[in-house]
Structure 1
Amino acid sequence: MRTLIIAAVFVAANGLATASAADLRMSWWGSEDRHIATQEALKFCGDKFGHTIAPEMTGWTGHQEKIATQLAGRTEADIMQINWPWLPIFSKSGNGFADLNQFKDVIDLGQWSEADRKSGSVDGKLNGLPVSITGRVFMFNKATYDKAGLAIPTTWDDLFAAAPVMKQRLGPDYYPFEGNGPDARLIVILRTTQKTGKDLIDPATRQVAWTVEELAESLDFYQSMVEQGVVKSWQDEAAGGNAPLHENPEWASGKIAGTYQWSSTYSKIVGPMQEGQQLVPVEMLKVDGATTEGIYRKPSMLFAISKCSKEPKAAAEIINCLLNDPEAIRKLGATRGVPSSKVALEVLTSAGTIEPAQIEANKIVMQSTGVDVSPLNENPRVAEAFDSTFEAFAYGQLNAETAAAGIIDRINGILTGI
């Protein structure tokens, strides 16, 4: 797509002086609809403040590597859309990006909750403002459950009880839930967090917070889901090609009737479902003795300002406009999910831009209890260490205790070195 350079508009009636103009760049990743909406919003905000903004948009693949190269060479854009797990990589002590607290007279920070601001902070420095908050939510296909004469599960026991009934009434290839690969990992993390009240990684020690016994118990819990027909085994998923959920024909037809997914992916996974299917988000399923609902809540992305920007105040004006100005909000729409800014959420909700089910999923994310989640959970090396050992367990190559010990040892070794 041809790069669009947005021309500044200077209007004396608006009180804009030539001296206030700034030449800025903004980088982000996304799909075509996000690119178009963002450029329209940038044009509006650029015209409003008299700034010129050059957009630099890409797809997701390779974007982190591009940003890493730019940050190393100090050639990054003034305004950047950054991924939350990048904070401990690019800003270990909070100095990798500008501290947005310095621009509280420009950006209406009161539109974000204290928790949201904290999620974008490192050592008290606000490195990025969450554009939207996402979290893992249980979602079930009401059509399949109705067809089987079953109520949508509200507890783990309900979910386990649904498996034999669904297979008896609808067929052996029906499953009340899915969980494989990263989804399986997050189910295990959820259960262990609910039982212990601790995130995978202790933020103080930067080491795994769980014991081998605690993690092994959750691995066994996952295995019981496989053995009792709640989810397909990793072997069966591999035989079927390990298709992503939104590309899985069994999901589209309703043969797989439940999932634990990011709230921000609602539109993506509901899109391919066949006519008559109905995806419903529900409150968190909890294990007996849970100390928390264990919601895995995080910024889906953040807007940050380069610490090297020569025009940081102008960049702050644009960020505030994009996220808090009603006209810019309408132009951006829900291309970055349900917005975190209170005014943005109100504007898009009033306009009917966001699907009711997605609003409900977001409500569950925001109202459920949980613990602070470390962005180190999503460090690529940490995730690979967990997933590869977990896969060996799922294939019967390791028992739960050995797998749990391996996961903890490997992750601790990685964390020690980063």
Structure 2
Amino acid sequence: MKRTVTLVLASGLMATTALSAAQSADLRVSWWGGDARHAATQEALQICGEKHGHNISPEFTGFDGHLERLTTQLAGGTEPDLMQVNWPWLPLFSPDGTGLADLNDYADIIDLSQWSDSLLATGTRNGHLNGLPVSITGRVLFANTETFAEAGIDVPDSWDGMTEAAATFKSELGDNYYPFDAATYNAMLITALYASQKTGVGFIDPVSNEIAWDVATLAEAIEFYQGLVDNGVVKSWETIAGMGNPNLQERGDWAAGEVASSYEWNSTYSQISGPFEGESPLAPFPAPRIEGAVNDGIFRKPSMTFAISANSDNPEAAAQILNCLMVEEDGVIPMGTQRAIPASQAAVDILEAEGLLASADLEANRLVLAADAPEPSPYFEDPGVRSAYEGVLEEFAYGLLSAEEAAQAIIDGTNDALARATR
């Protein structure tokens, strides 16, 4: 606690000193979310505004329509001073890094040391820090420890071990038991996980915006997914489709423990543990690795960022409020985990000291941050890219394409989607 208090006081002193000559500013701050996030953010803004002597006008909506709203405002130069910006929107709003303020210019106000260099890189465009990660989300293995215990085995840390677990499940628990789940989007992410572990890079190079894997690598990853199906590790795409493609937490086989693990966002623990009665049997684990893996290969990204307008009349004041929300105790405590566990180390220390972080959520977050993951591209979540990848993978799953044909089609379709997204 002493370290946290010292750190926060130092951050607050840095911001106060940097703005000692500043006058009271009128600021607009925008975000999207639900009622709980709205209430928490308004409380934090009121406290931070009073602390630093600024008048703040909040502007908040639901998620639907927020992209269109910000796009219109930025096109007309009428955007708020401080904005919550979805990570994939950064290249839309600031293709060359100049569409939003460079937060490096306010490093004497914002304590950027609370973010690792790799996290800061995710919000950087052409050398300009356009978006400061609010929280980081990534994929981890959530496993039903009771089911694995009933089978008499530990949760596997390798894909070979997961295949062996499938055989054990069938012999010890029954043919309706599967150690893992991968369907639709998760099947896509598992092929990406395999290829990333094999090559050390993600599907799309974040600098060149070009596909980083060749056809042979992607075909091998697709064959890996098929091997999981053939060996009884996961249910087939067709089987899950026959169930109506329900969300994991809505599936009876998940609630019954018959499907024992899944590769999920670290922030979904409370959601996917909902079906279990009493204490949840779920616990987070690192994603399994292939033999000879170059890295952990997980998909890790900022869930959202905060950005300052390049047109703001008071960017220093906006930076002061940003630092208060994400580093100083005054803003961090009321904000809590309404945007998931914060990316700022100072905020994590503060919330943990206050007992405001659930143990499973905290452990899953630590696994994500500790993973050796490739730098992500925001274009991986482009709707056109996802449609090209997932749609072709479904054709493969139904036997309409070979792995090589599917890999080539995914690459061709993704290139077309990238051309549309970056032109």
> Structure 2-normalised TM-score?
0.90
Per-residue deviation, residues 129-155 of structure 1 (Å, max 9, x unmatched):
111122111121101111222221111
Residue 228 (str. 1) matches residue 231 (str. 2): yes
Aligned to 1:374: 377
Aligned length in residues: 405
C-alpha separation between the residues in 2 aligned to 1:197 and 1:256? 29
Within a 5 Å distance, the mapping from 1:155-166 to structure 2 comes to 155-166=158-169
C-alpha separation between the residues in 2 aligned to 1:17 and 1:91? 31
Aligned to 2:251: 248
Aligned to 2:130: 127
Per-residue deviation, residues 190-235 of structure 1 (Å, max 9, x unmatched):
1001111221112344221111111001101101111222112121
Residue 79 (str. 1) matches residue 82 (str. 2): yes
Is the contact made by 1:330 and 1:348 (CA closer than 8 Å) also made in structure 2?
yes
C-alpha separation between the residues in 2 aligned to 1:51 and 1:265? 36
Unaligned runs of 5+ in 2: 1-15
Query: CA 1:61–1:169 in structure 2 vs 1: closer, same or farther (change >3 Å)?
Result: farther
Aligned to 1:313: 316
Report the Cα offset of residue 31 of structure 1.
2.5
C-alpha separation between the residues in 1 aligned to 2:188 and 2:109? 41
C-alpha separation between the residues in 2 aligned to 1:194 and 1:17? 49
Aligned to 1:289: 292
Query: CA 1:86–1:308 in structure 2 vs 1: closer, same or farther (change >3 Å)?
Result: same
Within a 5 Å distance, the mapping from 1:196-215 to structure 2 comes to 196-215=199-218
Query: CA 1:95–1:238 in structure 2 vs 1: closer, same or farther (change >3 Å)?
Result: same
3-state SS of paired residue (1:77): coil
Alignment equivalent of 2:173, drawn from 161, 170, 174: 170
3-state SS of paired residue (1:25): strand
Aligned to 1:324: 327
Q: CA RMSD in A?
A: 2.1
Aligned to 2:11: none
Within a 5 Å distance, the mapping from 1:8-47 to structure 2 comes to 20-47=23-50
C-alpha separation between the residues in 2 aligned to 1:91 and 1:124? 12
Report the Cα offset of residue 245 of structure 1.
1.8
Within a 5 Å distance, the mapping from 1:133-152 to structure 2 comes to 133-152=136-155
C-alpha separation between the residues in 2 aligned to 1:342 and 1:55? 26
C-alpha separation between the residues in 2 aligned to 1:140 and 1:19? 52
Is the contact made by 1:143 and 1:276 (CA closer than 8 Å) also made in structure 2?
no
3-state SS of paired residue (1:327): helix
Report the Cα offset of residue 33 of structure 1.
1.9
Within a 5 Å distance, the mapping from 1:46-85 to structure 2 comes to 46-85=49-88
Is the contact made by 2:209 and 2:377 (CA closer than 8 Å) also made in structure 1?
no
Is the contact made by 1:41 and 1:332 (CA closer than 8 Å) also made in structure 2?
yes
C-alpha separation between the residues in 1 aligned to 2:61 and 2:41? 12
C-alpha separation between the residues in 2 aligned to 1:271 and 1:72? 42
3-state SS of paired residue (1:54): strand
Unaligned runs of 5+ in 1: 1-13
Alignment equivalent of 2:366, drawn from 363, 366, 372: 363
C-alpha separation between the residues in 2 aligned to 1:208 and 1:401? 16
> Structure 1-normalised TM-score?
0.91
C-alpha separation between the residues in 2 aligned to 1:74 and 1:232? 51
Please identify, of 181-190 and 146-155, the stretch whose mean Cα deviation from structure 2 is larger.
Answer: 146-155
Per-residue deviation, residues 67-107 of structure 1 (Å, max 9, x unmatched):
22222232322211111111222211001211111111221
Is the contact made by 1:253 and 1:274 (CA closer than 8 Å) also made in structure 2?
no
Query: CA 1:204–1:277 in structure 2 vs 1: closer, same or farther (change >3 Å)?
Result: closer
Alignment equivalent of 1:275, drawn from 275, 278, 292: 278
Alignment equivalent of 1:408, drawn from 396, 407, 411: 411
Report the Cα offset of residue 17 of structure 1.
11
Paired residue type of 1:336? R
Alignment equivalent of 1:183, drawn from 173, 181, 186: 186
Aligned to 1:260: 263
Paired residue type of 1:248? R
Report the Cα offset of residue 410 of structure 1.
1.2
Paired residue type of 1:88? P
Identity across matched positions, percent? 48
Query: CA 1:270–1:98 in structure 2 vs 1: closer, same or farther (change >3 Å)?
Result: same
Please identify, of 54-63 and 106-115, the stretch whose mean Cα deviation from structure 2 is larger.
Answer: 54-63
Query: CA 1:18–1:216 in structure 2 vs 1: closer, same or farther (change >3 Å)?
Result: closer
Aligned to 1:350: 353
C-alpha separation between the residues in 1 aligned to 2:109 and 2:310? 17
Per-residue deviation, residues 309-328 of structure 1 (Å, max 9, x unmatched):
22212111110110111121
Report the Cα offset of residue 344 of structure 1.
0.6
Is the contact made by 1:135 and 1:296 (CA closer than 8 Å) also made in structure 2?
yes
